[in-house]
Amino acid sequence: MEKRIGVYVCECGPNISEALDIDRVVEAVSGMDGVVVADRYKLLCAGAGQQHLVDQIKEHDLTHLVVAACSPKEHESTFMSVCEKAGINPYMFQMANIREQVAWVTPDKEQATERAIRHVRAAVGRVIRHTPLATREIECNPDVLVIGGGIAGLSSAALLAGPERKVYLVEKEPALGGAVKGYEKLFPGMRSGSELVQRYQAQVEANDNITVLTGTTVKSILGFLGNFEIAVENGQGEGQEFMVGAVVAALGMKEDTESLGEYGYGEIDDVYTALEVEAMNLEGRLALKNGDAPKSVGIIHCVGREHSEYCSSVCCMAGMKIGRYLKDKLGDVKVTGFYRDLCVPGCDAEQFYRETRDAGMEFVRVGRVEVHDSGNGIVLKCGTAEGAVKEEKVDMVVLLPSVQAAEDVGALAEMLSLPLGPHGFMIEEHEKLAPVNTSMEGVYLAGGVTGPGTAEQTLSQSEAAAGRILAGLVPGRKLETEARVSEIRADLCAGCRTCLTVCCYGAIDYDPMKGICVVNEVLCRGCGNCASACPSGAASHRHFTSNQIYREMAEILK
Amino acid sequence: MKKGYALQAPDGVRKAVAGFLKTCLDKDVFDAVLVCVRSGSACSYVLVQEPSFLDTADCLPPVMPVQGGKAVMSFTRHGKGMRIGALLRPCEIRAAVELSKLQQTVPENISFISMDCEGVIPLSDWLSDPEAAGAADGSGVRELCSICEQFSFCEDDPVGKADLHIATMGVAKDRALLVPVSARGDEILQKLDLTPGEETTGWVEEVEKLRKKRREAREESFAELRKRVCGLDALSEVFGRCLECHACRTACPICYCRVCFAGSEPAGDAAVDYVRRAERLGGSCCLPEQLLFHLGRMSHMSLSCVSCGMCEDVCPVDIPVGSIFSMVGQATQGLFDYVPGRSAEADLPLKKFVLDELEDVED
């Protein structure tokens, strides 16, 4: 079939038209192989511009379309729909970015024109080698697995479950509620943590569409968005398997115990961690080991800060909350926070800090703090900023350790072949564009699994994760797969599995019967890692073939 | 210091090693042995099950007819199969280890038996006079063999995965030492009731002496070569002789792809592209892949190149392709602190993700 390419250069108002000589660009591509029409237009993305393109495609019987305009991030999908509307395959289209990559980067009109010519010629050289691509539709299971029965998991489950969507809520502990259940109060509003948990838990328990599996751990997660096979096991070793379409990883966090020893923890009586004091408070016994009420308490911030190499952001506030417990319940107690840097982000936190100070808690800025047992109480030796050492006698020490990811986060990441961040937390796909997604479609994150956070932050994430699933995995609707994916030619593959190790999405499987690797088109995101790693040229990207790239480069470098 | 078992060799080491392998088959240590069998000038790897076949074996031929790593691949590509004792040169064992990491061999049931390698003579010399070329006195060996440092296994951290090593250097002519290198090597000797009680000091000293000499020769040789091949013009000239017969690739043990992109249909240029290139550049070379093929192959396999020299041996137009690849390989492997064939456990650099690496080659 004859290849008939139409090239249209957008003026983008003055953006492109004033920065370069569009007529010369049009002229430079007019004689190229396959180009039957090249022209300029005021604003192609506008309604009239799109209609113009549709009319042109029909009038000239075009088979391929090139638009030279803005970034493909902005309008690639617009012009691909134009192609569809005009009856040609949307992948027979190529965009040349002559605005962000040309017009906006130089005031030199001559240089800009020269460069625009290369970009547009490259697009023509490439598009002629495009092949029509098609998406597929796959059946989806709308059900969801929520891992972790803390507030993140509970709120996600409550939002997601409905008559058409079942939720499996898996919690490894015998009871739901997570860490927040153990907090009498939550900063900064000093509302009850346990009441909050109860409220969510009641919603979950009242919902017939939620299956709560406590004392249960997830053994394996296989599959992809819309089609995950889940295997779980309870404490008695009884297994269960079910299908879901999406997964919310709502695992929590834990205290970093690595550096506690440096502060006399475990050796000196009455040195506690923040979580231990939370538990003591909940039981109503904020007391020393000998049963007496403490007269003075030192709260040490930033314990393990050097070890963890990050600010855990919630511990300063947690320390203030403990100060408030002590002041509220014991009244006559001196509470001092020994901090290096105080992390009090946001208006509510600032207000909370002021209230805590008004309640009588003192804050002393120190360097390194050492905890010594004097035989008659605890002595804190605090290095001051000036290098002097100040001694402070206290009855009780509360350590505010940094926050780490829960133990099973690593195992889950391995199960899903997802990367962990440098600090052991799971990482989001994109901090701004996809903050609760993972690089595996259909797996979402909420709460401590992503890093230290407050209850509000956790709930925002769990609701966001639920929102992603509600919007993307609609019961009865099929999923459209990405057309621009990789493929592996069976006759070329030598089964070396190099591609498998470089695939970030777990989208390649090894078929031991045939001795070759196979791409799962649903999981593949078309990143092209496999295509570049494959020595045989067996793996290739459907929309970035060597030939297409070569021709594009050849025109650019001419 | 490791100890060895003295294998008596009144009729020469080759006969003694053949006898040893025969005993291994008789005593059911292996189901089969992989050795070179020679008939006139023809010399090939054979998987031997019938012990009497070993009478025709030439256990230490002065020539490398096919890279032993490739021979191992042909027997084990599709599963571990029977227990094989494979008598190979150190570079062949290293190639087999690399191939196992590339999932092209399953070496689980293979016991690697290596030997001190004196180097081999060029195939062309061998074919012109197989009898005269047999002198294994180290003279007349291939250029790459004469600068090879990894010709033995006598280190605390042996390069390669040999199980049993046959030491001949620094050992009296009428004997050889069987030195167990791995736990499996110990087992083999135990099964045969052979106790390694012989000191190996003389062998180790000799190997280290030669290694030092070779290292200096290698540096000198590469310094010389670098002058000849550095830069695009020099490379174009050196590879300008290339016929694109791709024999180097066929002989290379590491080039495992079933179909190579180079020379395949999608890589070919349309007639119109030749014409265009001529229009654009004033001329268009009619073997356009010449240099590209070698650079491409280099980028694919230099990290695993074991410097066996097969490619250079088979090149009909005498391009020093093995030396060039070995020199480049030494540099790329050095970047990742990677020694091909050293261990089956060390990850191939391409397959291992390291967050911070190669910072000095970033922009």
Give the minimum alpha-carbon distance from B2 to chain A in angstroms, rounded to a whole number: 36
CA dihedral B329, B335, B340, B344 (to 10 degrees): -160
**B156 pLDDT band (50/70/90 cuts)?**
low
Q: What is the pLDDT of residue B267?
A: 60
Chain B interface, mutation test: which of A496, A510, A514, most B Cβ atoms within 10 Å? Answer: A496
CA distance A69 to A75: 9
CA-to-CA separations, B243 to A53, A62, B247, B288, B315, in angstroms, rounded = 50, 43, 10, 11, 9
**A252 pLDDT band (50/70/90 cuts)?**
very high
Q: Give the residue-averaged pLDDT of A301-318.
A: 93
Q: CA nearest B243: which of B309, B313, B290, B295?
A: B290
Domain hosting A246: range is 144-254+405-472
Cβ proximity of A494 and B261 under 8 Å: no
Q: Do the domain assignments include residue A330?
A: yes
Which stretch of DSSP H or E encloses residue A264? Answer: none
User: Residues A165, A238: one domain?
Assistant: yes
User: Residues A272, A394: one domain?
Assistant: yes
More confident residue, B1 or A134: A134
CA distance B228 to B235: 8
B350/A533 CB distance under 8 A: yes
Q: What is the pLDDT of residues A443-458, one digit of tens each?
A: 999 999 999 999 999 9
Q: Give the residue-averaged pLDDT of B254-269.
A: 77
Q: What is the pLDDT of residue B223?
A: 96
| Residues 293-322, chain B, touching A (beta carbon < 8 A) | 300-301
User: Residue A61: pLDDT above 90?
Assistant: yes
Q: Give B138's DSSP letter.
A: S
Task: CATH number of the domain at A533, please.
Answer: 3.30.70.20
User: Residues A261, A386: one domain?
Assistant: yes
A496/B266 CB distance under 8 A: no
3 state SS of A157: helix
Chain A interface, mutation test: which of B103, B249, B260, B280, most A Cβ atoms within 10 Å? Answer: B103
Residues of A at the B interface, defined by Cβ within 8 angstroms: 422, 491-498, 501-502, 515, 533, 535-538, 546-547, 558
CA distance B244 to B343: 34
Residues of B within 8 A of A538 (CB-CB) are 257, 259
Q: Do the domain assignments include residue A17?
A: yes
Q: What is the pLDDT of residues A391-435, one digit of tens each?
A: 999 999 999 999 999 989 999 999 988 889 999 999 999 889 899
Q: Do the domain assignments include residue A61?
A: yes
CA distance A264 to A373: 8
Q: Give A437's DSSP letter.
A: B
Q: What is the pLDDT of residue B286?
A: 77
B39 touches chain A (CB under 8 A): no
User: Residue A127: pLDDT above 60?
Assistant: yes
User: Residue B95: pLDDT above 90?
Assistant: yes
Chain A interface, mutation test: which of B104, B259, B295, B297, most A Cβ atoms within 10 Å? Answer: B259
User: Residues A48, A148: one domain?
Assistant: no
- Among A133, A168, A202, the domain-final residue is A133
Q: What is the pLDDT of residue B134?
A: 53
Alpha helices (H) along A400-545: 408-415, 455-472, 498-502, 529-533
Structure tokens at B226: 């670098």
User: Residues A106, A202: one domain?
Assistant: no
User: Residues A240, A266: one domain?
Assistant: no
User: Residues A17, A98: one domain?
Assistant: yes
Q: What is the pLDDT of residue B268?
A: 61
CA distance A483 to A134: 6
Q: Give the residue-averaged pLDDT of A155-160.
A: 97
User: Residue A259: pLDDT above 70?
Assistant: yes
Residues 6+ apart with CB under 8 A from A284: none
Q: What is the pLDDT of residue B107?
A: 82
B103/A501 CB distance under 8 A: no
User: Residue A229: pLDDT above 80?
Assistant: yes
User: Residue B136: pLDDT above 80?
Assistant: no
Task: CATH number of the domain at A58, please.
Answer: 3.40.50
CA distance B173 to B162: 23
**B166 pLDDT band (50/70/90 cuts)?**
very high
Q: What is the pLDDT of residue A373?
A: 93
Domain count, chain A: 4
Cβ proximity of A551 and A126 under 8 Å: yes
A498/B102 CB distance under 8 A: yes
Give DSSP secondary structure letters for B47-105.
EE-SGGGGGGB-SS-SS-SS-HHHHHHHHHTT---S-EEEE--HHHHHHHHHHHHTTS-
Residues 6+ apart with CB under 8 A from A2: A63
**Cross-chain CB nearest to B102 (options A496, A547, A558):** A496
Contacts 24+ apart (CB under 8 A), A189-196: A189/A348, A190/A321, A190/A324, A193/A455, A194/A282, A196/A151, A196/A455
User: Residue B39: pLDDT above 90?
Assistant: no
Residues of B within 8 A of A422 (CB-CB) are 355
Q: Do the domain assignments include residue A319?
A: yes
Q: What is the pLDDT of residues B213-260, one digit of tens each?
A: 999 999 999 999 999 999 889 998 999 999 989 999 999 999 998 888
Q: CA nearest A548: which of A133, A122, A134, A3?
A: A122
ipTM over 0.90: no
Q: Give the residue-averaged pLDDT of A228-242.
A: 94
Match 């004097």 to its residue by tokens. Answer: A374
Cα angle: A60, vertex A544, A222; to 5 degrees: 125
C-alpha gyration radius of chain A: 30
Cα end-to-end distance, chain B, whole Å: 48
- Omega within 30 of 0 (cis) for the link into B266: no
CA distance A152 to A251: 8
Q: Do the domain assignments include residue A468?
A: yes
Q: What are residue A124's phi and psi, to 5 degrees?
A: -70, -45
The lowest-confidence range among A14-23, A236-245, A274-283, B336-345 is B336-345
Give the minimum alpha-carbon distance from B297 to chain A in angstroms, rounded to a whole number: 9
Q: Give the residue-averaged pLDDT of B182-190.
A: 92
User: Residues A151, A274: one domain?
Assistant: no
A493/B78 CB distance under 8 A: no
Residues of B within 8 A of A535 (CB-CB) are 257, 300-301
Burial of A173 (0-12, 13-18, 19+ CB in 10 A): middle
Q: CA nearest A180: which of A451, A467, A465, A459?
A: A459
Give the minimum alpha-carbon distance from A116 to chain B in angstroms, rounded to a whole number: 20
A492/B257 CB distance under 8 A: yes
Cβ proximity of A535 and A498 under 8 Å: yes
Q: What are residue A475's phi and psi, to 5 degrees?
A: -55, 130
Cβ proximity of B43 and B237 under 8 Å: no
Mean pLDDT of chain B: 88
Q: What is the pLDDT of residue A42?
A: 95
More confident residue, B267 or B75: B75
Mean pLDDT of chain A: 94
User: Residues A261, A397: one domain?
Assistant: yes
* Pairing state between β A486-488 and B164-167: unpaired
Q: What is the pLDDT of residues A346-384, one digit of tens each?
A: 899 999 999 999 999 999 999 889 999 988 889 999 987
CA distance A488 to A509: 11
Q: Do the domain assignments include residue A127?
A: yes
Match 């020299």 to its residue by tokens. Answer: B309
B103 touches chain A (CB under 8 A): yes
Residues of A within 8 A of B257 (CB-CB) are 492, 494, 535-538
Pick the most confident of A329-338, A382-391, B75-84.
A329-338
Which pTM value belongs to this model? 0.70
User: Residue A103: pLDDT above 90?
Assistant: yes
Residues of A within 8 A of B259 (CB-CB) are 491-492, 536-538
Q: Do the domain assignments include residue A553?
A: no
CA distance B71 to B69: 5
How many beta-carbon pairs under 8 angstroms link A with B? 49
Q: Do the domain assignments include residue A224?
A: yes
**Cross-chain CB nearest to A537 (options B261, B301, B351):** B261
Give DSSP secondary structure letters for B315-342.
-TT---HHHHHHHHHHHHHHHTT--TTS
Q: What are residue A529's phi and psi, to 5 degrees?
A: -55, -45
Task: CATH number of the domain at A195, please.
Answer: 3.50.50.60
User: Residues A417, A381: one domain?
Assistant: no
- Among A111, A133, A155, the domain-final residue is A133
Q: What is the pLDDT of residue A428?
A: 93
User: Residues A176, A284: one domain?
Assistant: no
Q: What is the pLDDT of residue A330?
A: 93
CA-to-CA separations, B286 to A89, B243, B338, in angstroms, rounded = 37, 11, 38
**Cross-chain CB nearest to B258 (options A422, A494, A497):** A494
CA distance A36 to A208: 63
* Chain B residue nearest residue A537, CA to CA: B261
User: Residues A218, A288: one domain?
Assistant: no
3 state SS of A472: helix
User: Residue A256: pLDDT above 80?
Assistant: yes
- Among A99, A133, A167, the domain-final residue is A133
Q: For chain A, give the percent of residues with pLDDT over 90.
A: 84
